[in-house]
Amino acid sequence: MKFLSKVSYSHDNVIAVQELLAGLERTHEIACLICYCTEEYSTFAIQELLKEYLPNIPIQGCTTCHGIMTETGFHSGPVIGVLAIYDSGINAYGTGIKSFDGDVTSSTYDAIDMALKKADRAGEVPDLILLHSTPGNEETVMDAIDSKFGTEVPIIGGSAADNKVSGNWSIFTEDLVSINGVSLTVFFSSQSVYSSLNAGHTPTEFSGTVTKARDRILQEIDDKPAVDVYNEWTNYHLGSSDDGFIFEQSSVYPLGRKVGSSYKTPYFKLSHSIRQTECKGIELFTDINEGDVIHLMQGSRKQIISRAANIIHSSYFNDMDHEEKLGAINIFCAGPMLSLKQDMSEVCTQINQALNGLPYICPFTFGEQGRLCGGENAHGNLMVSSATFYRLKK
């Protein structure tokens, strides 16, 4: 099993794809291709070109916020990149995609069935699912995956993103491009994979109960307007905003909900605030329910920089002397990326050290999906999700 990543800065869709593929060896032997691009590229054109140049090869693509990251560095957009996976062992890969024309659960089931059929593994449980959906229905999609398989399948995923949370996002496979849907790749790989989802934030002294909510709008905390409570907790960190857009400012202090405990230490899934509503509510990138207990979370710059590398290191808790890393897929939230900015080169350096310089690819997403340390699959924000592939040393 082998991985290769390539990046192009060309603004021309045709030239960009040609540059990407020119840097890949034995393209006919690629088992699966993963592609990420910023919103300046036409995913319709990219999908058609990749399908033309790589016939009969599973392809999954997704838009990313402002850039991508590989072992060659942090690449600020406009940019497009790919990760080619070569796997000559007993393996199978298949993609599925479905637009949300109707019921989200049914659409997710259809995408799973499509992917398993393409991999010729109908009825089997994959080693890993790479999940990319458009923002808005992630919890339902995750529940549908668990329901379909009847067990917790390892997942790594990220919600499609754009540069300004303006809805200019999309997903694609070799079959379809969608601006409102779900896509996934099922991995039946010849080597082992370890996946993890990590928050990298700790709870502050402030917490409260959601007393009024609607879908992804947090309206009241402890019977008070959500914005007023959040401002009190953060000492008015948000400041004033003419349009109510608080996406970048709020990444410093996300809201967290406790999921479980590991060795008596609680772990959380995070919710990222997008904007204030006219009624002093807060729109989130996750669902929120009345009765939920929410905590104001915080993370030091050092913690946020190091967490992507830390979850790669944690994959070798068994016997690192007998396991050889091969490559990885990483998912990094757009919010922390925007707040870190000049420190993203340090994030990349630490990931490279954790992976010994091996190939990987990392988009910046508007929601992260994966497996928490207690084994639960979850959707959260401001998080890092990682899948590290490895084999036993001979």
Q: Tell me the CA distances in angstroms from 355 to 12, 309, 310, one per residue in order.
A: 32, 8, 11
pLDDT score at 144: 96
- Beta-carbon count within 10 A of 321 CB: 7
**Phi, psi (rounded to 5 degrees) for 251:** -65, -20
Q: Hey, which residues does 183 pair with through a beta bridge?
A: 97, 132
Q: Tell me the CA distances in angstroms from 205 to 202, 298, 299, one per residue in order.
A: 10, 10, 13
pLDDT score at 319: 56
DSSP string computed for 255-285: EEEEEEEETTEEEEEEE-EEEE-TTS-EEES
> What tens digit of pLDDT does each residue of 243-283 get?
788 887 888 889 999 988 877 778 888 998 989 998 999 99
CB proximity list for 71: less than 8 A, separation 6 or greater: 5, 348, 351, 352, 355, 357, 358, 359, 360
DSSP class of 229: H
pLDDT score at 169: 98
Tens digits of pLDDT across the chain (394 residues): 999 999 999 999 999 999 999 989 899 899 999 999 999 999 999 999 999 999 999 999 999 999 999 999 999 999 999 999 999 877 799 999 999 988 999 999 999 999 999 999 999 999 999 999 999 999 999 999 999 999 889 999 999 999 999 999 999 999 999 999 999 999 999 999 988 888 778 899 999 999 999 989 999 999 999 999 999 999 878 766 667 888 878 888 899 999 888 777 788 889 989 899 989 999 998 999 999 999 999 877 888 888 888 878 765 555 556 778 999 999 999 988 988 888 999 999 999 999 999 999 999 999 999 888 777 778 888 889 999 999 877 6
Q: What torsion, rounded to 10 degrees, do the Cα atoms 288, 292, 295, 298 define?
A: -30
Tokens 């947090």 appear where?
Answer: 218
DSSP string computed for 44-69: HHHHHHHHHHSTT--EEEEE-SSEEE
- Beta-carbon count within 10 A of 113 CB: 14
Give the separation between CA 277 and CA 88, rounded to whole angstroms. 52
pLDDT score at 315: 57
CB proximity list for 205: less than 8 A, separation 6 or greater: none
> What tens digit of pLDDT does each residue of 1-12 get?
999 999 999 999
Please, is 145 exposed, middle or buried when counting C-beta atoms within 10 Å of its C-beta (0-12, 13-18, 19+)? buried
Alpha helices in 213-363 (DSSP H): 226-233, 301-313, 334-340, 344-354
Give the separation between CA 185 and CA 115, rounded to whole angstroms. 6
276 alpha-carbon distance from chain centroid: 24
Give the separation between CA 260 and CA 267, rounded to whole angstroms. 6
pLDDT score at 339: 84
- Beta-carbon count within 10 A of 244 CB: 15
Give the separation between CA 304 and CA 323, rounded to whole angstroms. 27
The answer to whether the predicted template modeling score (pTM) of the entire model surpasses 0.75 is yes
